[in-house]
Amino acid sequence: MDAAVGSCGHHVDATEVVVIGGTPRIRIRFSVPAASAEEEDADARTAAVAMVQAVDGIADTGRRRLLRRRQGTWLPVLWL
């Protein structure tokens, strides 16, 4: 978790490690500076890639998702 948070480069709002069906999941919610939707998504992609690279050196990360919150709904952001 420390590796992922340290590599994010943005304000981290919340972190969580949960085990579901025997598989650990790392969740990191972070904020990027306000800009156009495209710029915010690009900033989020950059942060997500940095976090994945940091964690890949420590653990097998498996499935990855990047979500964006828009009007109370979490929507996927295409990235990898």
| Overall average pLDDT of the 39-49 stretch | 90
> What is the pLDDT, as a whole number, of residue 35?
93
Express each pLDDT in 12-43 by its tens digit. Answer: 888 898 888 888 888 888 989 999 989 999 99
The whole-chain average pLDDT of the chain stands at 86
Where do the DSSP E strands lie in the chain?
11-20, 23-31, 67-70, 73-76
| Residues recorded for the chain | 80
State if pTM tops 0.85. no
Residue predicted with more confidence, 12 or 1: 12
